[in-house]
Amino acid sequence: MAPAPNNPSIWKHLVPHLVDHYKVFLYDTMGAGSTNPDYFDFYHYSSIEGYAYDLIAILEEFNVQKCIYVGHSLTAMVATAASIFRPDLFHKLIMLAASIPEILNSGDYFGGFEQKYLDQIRAGMEKNKICHDLGKAALVVGCDMDSEAVQEYSRTLFNVLPDIALSVVRLLHALDMRPFLPQVTVPCHIIQSSKDVCVPQSVGEYIHKNLGGKSIVEVMPTEGHLPHLSAPEVTIPVLLRHIHHDIAG
């Protein structure tokens, strides 16, 4: 399983709480259904660096310095990479359900997935050109299939072209950022659901222990990979607290 490229609609419950106090920038991750697929360069986006360079270019274009970056899943990974290249652009990273540093179980590291299962997902996508079905979307979100959160997430998935979705899945399945975590010096706020089929709690603890700068972990009493959609009443106050307050010490 893997998230689709993000579009700003996933932050609809958070943004209204920020616009009166912050200058808010929202951007579409290239490949999202809201972007022009003609501009999706498969070579450029075959690595996390491609997405990171896009983020850096956006921040430079708008002369943004020392931003508070809020990212979910793939975009949390992107910001981590971007902060290694340009730490001066980031005040801190708010990482919600960050599926880094590696989703594959290996040795004593538990990323959440076995290689056989990832191979099955990739093979199914290559054969059927289908990103996800509604049942899998419900499993990822952690809600009933008829819930608003699952319906919205499903629309995001189904709007991504199959070839682009497959490219993102290949990237996520091959990515291993564990060697780079000590290079991340920007403060990181790691926020997770207590139950997430995509990101087990052990991933957040691993990130926390191996980052090169200050970090903090908070596990919320929520279920699913998109708690900002499925449980905004719990998630939004947590996000706001981490946005407003820096890590002590």
H helix runs in the chain, sequence order:
48-61, 74-85, 115-128, 134-141, 148-158, 162-174, 201-210, 227-230, 232-244
Identify the sign of the CA torsion 96, 186, 212, 3: positive
List the helix and strand counts (H, then E) for the chain: 9, 4
Of the listed 189, 225, 228, 242, which one is catalytic? 225
225 is an active site residue? yes
Report the C-alpha gap between 94 and 72 in whole angstroms: 8
Of the listed 99, 189, 196, 230, which one is catalytic? 196
202 is an active site residue? no
C-alpha pair distances (Å), 210 with each of 116, 141, 182, 184, 203: 27, 28, 6, 9, 11
196 is an active site residue? yes
H helix runs in 48-183, sequence order:
48-61, 74-85, 115-128, 134-141, 148-158, 162-174
Report the catalytic residues: 73, 196, 225
